[in-house]
Structure 1
Amino acid sequence: MAGASQDRVALAAVAGAHGVKGELRLKLFAEGIDSLKKQKALFVGEDERRLLSVRANAKGAIAKLDGVNSREAAEALRGSLLEIARETLPELGEGEYYFSDLLSLLVIDDRGAEVGTIVAVENFGASDVIEIERPTGKRFMVPMTENAVPEWNKERLVINAAFAED
């Protein structure tokens, strides 16, 4: 799954089809379906599509987009990002970030050693967790807490060396 373009922010990814009428199962990147409900149109790849409906489910959300009318059409979008134009988003407060801004960031430890890049951001309930891929391909997870991640900016993220798995 490719990251969002610089002028767009991903709110969700298509996890697959739901039913036979073109509904999409979504993995949410935002803080719930409210951020999706506010959108009239979303970008799916280069196509702009109207959001017809969205509702929560146990694993994310179920959405219906204009022009996606069959299970096959929904399955064809599996892995696609649902994005919005960055300028439509509210300004971030101190210490806040959009998941898409963290994806592909260089990760170093607090001693200056390169660790890898961020390949995913998850939230399992307590706090956000970043998944880091080392150059070897091995992946590990680190919580986005002040103790584990003392600083980040748009070019890199610094983790406490104690959290860097070998």
Structure 2
Amino acid sequence: MTTDSRLILVGQVGGGFGVRGEVRVTAFTADPLALTAYGPLLRADGSVGLTLTSARPDKNGVVGRAKEIATKEQADALRGLKLHVPRDRFPEPEEDEFYLADLIGLQARDGDDAAIGVVKAVQNFGADDMLEIAPAAGGPTWYLPFTRDAVPDIRLAEGWLRVLRPVEVGEREPD
């Protein structure tokens, strides 16, 4: 089995909680308490950011103790720190399921099966997930809503997905 060291964003430090060195962490996971099961939570560069030793649910995530934090000031100093977990620490998804991070690097193919780019990132600007596509011919990246209509076919094991770009304003749909 190969290891996958891509880092997945799972939370962000909100700062100190109370006066005894607890830290508030906003969780980007379905189960906020899962943050305690992943082991050390990493910084974007792969170094250890926080190791939660205990946690309890909070409105946006968890409040807990971390090995690296002893005071409220230390917790406040980490406010805004993004916390990541290597992809290989997540359980394998069920059949016909995947993690959004698994889409990164897939070849984007059009309706005629021509390679038109590569998925560079999956972004969420507050509404829905968007695929950021780096064009095969070079130039600026472009975004595509990650919907069944826009991405009707995902072949993870084969390394590609089908993308159907919306018709641009002023363009006509083919007859």
Task: Give the TM-score normalised by the residue count of structure 1.
Answer: 0.62
Q: CA deviation at 1:67?
A: 0.6
Query: Hey, what does 2:10 align to over in structure 1?
Result: 12
RMSD: 3.8
Change (3 A) 1:150 1:40: closer
What one-letter code is carried by the residue in structure 1 that aligns with 2:8? A
| Equivalent in the alignment of 1:108 | 109
Show structure 2 runs of 5+ residues with no match.
Answer: 170-175
> Which of 137, 140, 144 is the aligned partner of 2:140?
137
- How is 1:15-164 mapped onto 2 (pairs within 5 angstroms)? 16-19=13-16, 21=21, 23-26=23-26, 28=28, 30-37=29-36, 39=37, 41-44=39-42, 45-47=46-48, 49-51=50-52, 52-58=54-60, 61-64=61-64, 65-68=66-69, 69-72=74-77, 74-75=78-79, 78-81=81-84, 83=85, 86=88, 89-111=90-112, 112-122=114-124, 129-135=129-135, 136-145=139-148, 148-153=151-156, 156-163=159-166
Query: How far off is 1:119 after superposition?
Result: 1.0
Q: CA deviation at 1:78?
A: 2.1
In the TM superposition, residue 49 of structure 1 has moved relative to its aligned partner by 4.6
In the TM superposition, what whole-angstrom CA distance separates every residue of 1:117-138 from its partner, at most 9, and x where no partner exists?
A: 241254979xx73421334334
Q: Is the 8 Å Cα contact of residues 106 and 155 (structure 1) preserved in structure 2?
A: no
- Give % identity: 13
Q: CA deviation at 1:110?
A: 3.1
* Equivalent pairs, count: 151
Query: By how many angstroms is 1:12 displaced?
Result: 0.3
If each structure's strand is expressed as a fraction of its own residues, which one has the higher value? 1
- Distance (whole Å) between structure 2 residues aligned to residue 98 and residue 107 of structure 1: 17
Listed as ranges, the gaps of 5+ residues in structure 1 are none
TM-score normalized by the length of structure 2: 0.60
